[in-house]
A and B are shown apart, each in its own frame.
Chain A
Amino acid sequence: MIFSSLVFLFYFLPVVLALYALAPRRGKNAVLFAASLLFYAWGEPVYVFLMLFSILANYLLGLSIHRALAGDTKTGLNAAGCAETTGYQGTSPAARRRLILACALNLALLGFFKYAGFFIANLNLALGLHIADPDLPLPLGISFYTFQAMSYIIDLYRGKVAVQKSFVAFGTYVALFPQLIAGPIVRFQTIAEELTLRSHSLAGFSQGALRFTAGLGKKVLLANSAGAVFEQAMQSGGAGSGISVLSAWIGVLAFTMQIYFDFSGYSDMAIGLGRMFGFHFPENFNYPYISQSITEFWRRWHITLSSWFREYVYIPLGGNRRGTLLQLRNIAAVWALTGIWHGASWNFLVWGVYFGVLLIAEKLFLLRALQRAPALLRHVYTMFFVIVSWAVFSADDLSGAAAFLASLSGLSGGPLSDGTGLYLLQNHALFFLLLMIGSTPLPKRLWIRLSGGLPQTAAGLVRSAGMAAVLLLSVAYLVSSSYNPFLYFRF
Chain B
Amino acid sequence: MKKKCDPCAVLPALVFIALIAGISLWNILLPRKDFSEMENRSLAAFPPLSFEQIRSGKWMSEFDDYASDQFLFRDGFMKIKTAADLSLLRQDNGRVYFGKDGYLFPMSQIDETQETAALKLVSDFAAKALERDPRLRLSVLLAPTAQSVLSDKLPPHAPVSDEPAALRRAADFLHAAVPGLIFTDPLAQLRSAASAPGGEDPAGEYGDEPADGEGQLYYRTDHHWTTDGAYLAYRQWAQDNGFTPASRNSFQRETVSHSFLGTNQAKAPGYTVLPDPIAVYTPKEPVGPCRITVWKDAADPAEIEIRDSFYDPAFLKTKDQYAYFLGGNDPQLRVETPVKNGRKLLLIKDSYANCMVPFLALHFEEIYITDLRYSHGKLLPAPGDGTGDAAGGVSPAGFTDVMFLYNIESFSSDKNLAYLTQLKLN
Q: Report the minimum CB–CB distance from A403 to chain B (whole Å).
A: 19
Q: How many A-B residue pairs have CB under 8 A?
A: 161
By size class, the interface of chain A is 35 or more
Q: Is the CB of A46 within 8 A of B78?
A: no
Q: Is the CB of A213 within 8 A of B16?
A: yes
Q: Report the minimum CB–CB distance from A9 to chain B (whole Å).
A: 7
Task: Give bound CA distance, A43 to B17, whole Å.
Answer: 26
Q: Is the CB of B24 within 8 A of A428?
A: no
Q: Is the CB of B8 within 8 A of A473?
A: no
| 0/1 interface trace, chain A 2-29, chain B, CB 8 Å (1 if under) | 0001110111011001100000000000
Q: Is the CB of B88 within 8 A of A426?
A: no
Q: Which one of B4, B6, B15, B27 has the greatest number of beta carbons of chain A within 10 Å? A: B15
A476 partner, pick from B21, B55, B78, beta carbons under 8 A: B78
| Contact stretch, chosen from B56-64, B209-217, B301-309 | B56-64
Task: Give bound CA distance, A14 to B25, whole Å.
Answer: 9
Q: Is the CB of B16 within 8 A of A209?
A: yes
B13 partner, pick from A11, A205, A239, beta carbons under 8 A: A205
Q: Report the minimum CB–CB distance from B247 to chain A (whole Å).
A: 40
A477 partner, pick from B24, B81, B155, B159, beta carbons under 8 A: B81
Q: Is the CB of B10 within 8 A of A202?
A: yes
Q: Does B157 contact A (CB under 8 A)?
A: yes
Interface residues of B in 269-327 (CB under 8 A from A): 269
Q: Does A420 contact B (CB under 8 A)?
A: yes
Specify which chain A residues have a CB less than 8 angstroms from the CB of B71 in the assembled complex: 6, 10, 475, 479
Q: Is the CB of A7 within 8 A of B81?
A: no
Q: Is the CB of B81 within 8 A of A481?
A: yes
Q: Report the minimum CB–CB distance from B15 to chain A (whole Å).
A: 4
Q: Report the minimum CB–CB distance from A12 to chain B (whole Å).
A: 10
Q: Is the CB of A427 within 8 A of B90?
A: yes
| 0/1 interface trace, chain B 14-30, chain A, CB 8 Å (1 if under) | 11110111011001000
Q: Given A17-B20, A427-B92, A479-B81, check contact A206 B12 (CB 8 Å).
A: yes
Q: Does A457 contact B (CB under 8 A)?
A: yes
* Closest residue of B by beta carbon distance from A213: B16
Q: Report the minimum CB–CB distance from B59 to chain A (whole Å).
A: 9
Specify which chain B residues have a CB less than 8 angstroms from the CB of A480 in the assembled complex: 77-78, 81-82, 269
B64 partner, pick from A7, A228, A464, beta carbons under 8 A: A7
Interface residues of B in 368-419 (CB under 8 A from A): none
* Closest residue of B by beta carbon distance from A466: B12
Q: Does A126 contact B (CB under 8 A)?
A: no
Main secondary structure of the interface of A (DSSP, over half): helix
Q: Is the CB of A461 within 8 A of B157?
A: no
Specify which chain B residues have a CB less than 8 angstroms from the CB of A207 in the assembled complex: 12
Q: Is the CB of A476 within 8 A of B7?
A: no
Q: Is the CB of B81 within 8 A of A423?
A: no
Q: Given A460-B7, A473-B80, check contact A210 B67 (CB 8 Å).
A: no
Q: Report the minimum CB–CB distance from B264 to chain A (whole Å).
A: 15
| 0/1 interface trace, chain A 191-219, chain B, CB 8 Å (1 if under) | 00000000001110111011011000000
Q: Is the CB of A431 within 8 A of B90?
A: yes
28 residue pairs of the A-B complex, CB under 8 angstroms, read A6-B64, A6-B68, A7-B64, A10-B24, A11-B67, A17-B17, A44-B57, A45-B60, A201-B4, A205-B10, A209-B13, A238-B162, A420-B157, A427-B90, A459-B8, A460-B7, A463-B8, A463-B12, A464-B12, A464-B14, A467-B12, A468-B19, A473-B84, A477-B81, A477-B84, A479-B74, A479-B77, A481-B94
Binding site for A on B (CB under 8 A): 1-4, 6-17, 19-21, 23-24, 27, 54-57, 60, 63-64, 67-68, 71, 74, 77-78, 80-82, 84, 88-92, 94, 109, 112, 155-159, 162, 269
